[in-house]
Amino acid sequence: MADYTKDIRELIGSRPFILVGSTIVVMNDNKEILFQHRSDTEEWGLPGGAMEIGESLEQTAERELYEETGLKAKSLKFVDVLSGKDYYFKYPNGDEVYNVITVYLAEEISGKLAMNDDESLELKYFSISKLPSNIDVRAKLIIEKHFL
């Protein structure tokens, strides 16, 4: 989690706030989607995270993709901006956020798939027809809206 987010949490505690970030959809040649088994929620989600001070949404996507997967994208294709009550999330520690999520599709991926931080338990590609049962609600909404 970014220092900015931690600083806000110190001021407001676990009360809800608007969190702006990027989510990246990575597809392999078999049209399988990369998921991250998250250590904080133990759910499968899409790579992504919160914007840091001074970043653009594209820079956030590039940074989060590399930090969480070890991958880089030659380009990012804009998919959507999502927000509202459907993107509310309460973390296991009680922190609440209303997400504003910019979704990108990563194109021309390079690098070696690797967990570079402590946010992941596992990284794995899943077929659209065989998604994990414990999928993060935000990821599920993104997949259903744009990739089914």
Q: Which residues of the chain have pLDDT under 50?
A: 1
127-139, pLDDT tens digit by residue? 999 999 999 999 9
pLDDT of residue 1: 47
**Whole-angstrom Cα distance, residue 26 to residue 15?**
32
Domains in the chain: ranges and CATH: 3-146 (3.90.79.10)
* C-alpha closest to that of 47 among 58, 36, 32: 36
pLDDT of residue 2: 57
Q: 17-25 and 96-111: which strand pairing? A: parallel
pTM of the model: 0.92
Contact assessment for residue 139 and residue 26, using Cβ atoms and an 8 Å cutoff: no
